[in-house]
Homo-oligomer: A and B are copies of this chain.
C-alpha cells in the first residue's frame, strides 16, 4: 500500500453561466477560470480549486476554494466526476474530485474578475492546465445529454421566465438555433411548464408571458441539480 502515498487529492469546480456573446447572435455558456501562479502549469488558466486539506469535506473544500479565488458562492455544488488518470498532471499524480454548478447571470455578476480571474466562453477555451479542457468537455457533454429530459435549464433562470429566455438556455447548451414556433409547440406539448397568467412588466404593446416549471407529476424524477442525497436524505451515522 506504500504506492498510495504518491497520489495527492484535489478538488476543482466548473461553474457555468449564460452570458450574451458579442460574437454571435445568441447567449452562450461561460465559465470562470483562474490563472496559475506557480508550477506546474505556471501562468496557464485552470478551473478554480486546490488541494484537499486533511479535515475538510470534499464539497466544502470545493466551495471554499471557489469562493477564495472567484468570490462566487453558488447555492449548491453537485459532484460531477472524479478524474484520476495517472498522467493527468505534469507534477506528481493528482486525483481531482470535480464539482459543478449552474448559476444565474445575476449570481455570475458577483464574481471577482481581474488579472488572475476571467470568464471564458466554454466553446473557445485556451489550452488549460492539467486535463481541465477534458473536464470542461465532459461537463458540457453531461449538460447537453441532460437538458432534453430534465430541468437543468431551470438552474439558469429565475422562478419565472419567458419562452424566449428558456429558448436562450436550450440554444446555449445545444449550441444551435431553435425555431421559435417549433420550440413553443414542443415545450407546451411536454407539459413541463405552466403559464403563470402574468406578463413581463413594461411598456410594450404585447409584453411576453411569464412561465414557471410544472412541479406536479414529477416525483419520480429527481432534480439533477437539486441537493445531493449524500448530504440530505442519507443517514450519516453508518
Residues of A within 8 A of B (CB): 1, 3-9, 51-58, 79, 81-86, 93, 95, 97, 127-128, 131-134, 137-138, 141, 145, 148-149, 220-222, 229-230, 233-236, 238
Residues from chain B with Cβ under 8 Å of A93 in the complex: 54-55
Known: A8-B4, A86-B57. A141 touches B51 (CB 8 A): no
A236-B134, A238-B128 known; A4+B54 contact, CB < 8 A = yes
B85 touches A97 (CB 8 A): no
Contacting residues, chain B, for A6 (C-beta < 8 A)? 54
Known contacts A141-B233, A236-B134, A238-B128: A53-B3 contact under CB 8 Å? yes
Task: Say yes or no: B95 contacts A230, CB within 8 Å.
Answer: no
Residue of B with least CB distance to A238: B133
Q: Determine the residue in chain B with the shortest Cβ distance to A2.
A: B54
Q: How far is the CA of A145 from the CA of B127 in the complex (A)?
A: 37
